[in-house]
Amino acid sequence: MAIGGMSIFITGIAMTVNGLTLPGRYAAGEGPPNVAQLGIGQMVGGIGLLVLGILIAGSALALLGGLPRSRPFAVGTSAVAAVLALAALILQLGPTRRDLVLLAALAVAVVAFGGASAILARLRR
pTM, to two decimals: 0.83
Q: Residue 125 has what pLDDT?
A: 57
Mean pLDDT score, 64-79: 92
Q: What is the pLDDT of residues 89-125, one digit of tens each?
A: 999 998 778 889 999 999 999 999 999 999 999 866 5
Q: Residue 112 has what pLDDT?
A: 94
Look at 36-45, 58-67, 71-80, 101-110 and tell me which has the smallest mean pLDDT. Answer: 36-45
Q: What is the pLDDT of residues 3-51, one digit of tens each?
A: 999 999 999 999 999 988 887 877 777 777 787 788 888 899 999 999 9
Give the chain as a 3 state SS string: CHHHHHHHHHHHHHHHHHHHHCHHHHCCCCCCCCHHHCCHHHHHHHHHHHHHHHHHHHHHHHHHHCCCCHHHHHHHHHHHHHHHHHHHHHHHCCCCCCCHHHHHHHHHHHHHHHHHHHHHHCCCC
Selected residue with higher pLDDT from 60 and 27: 60
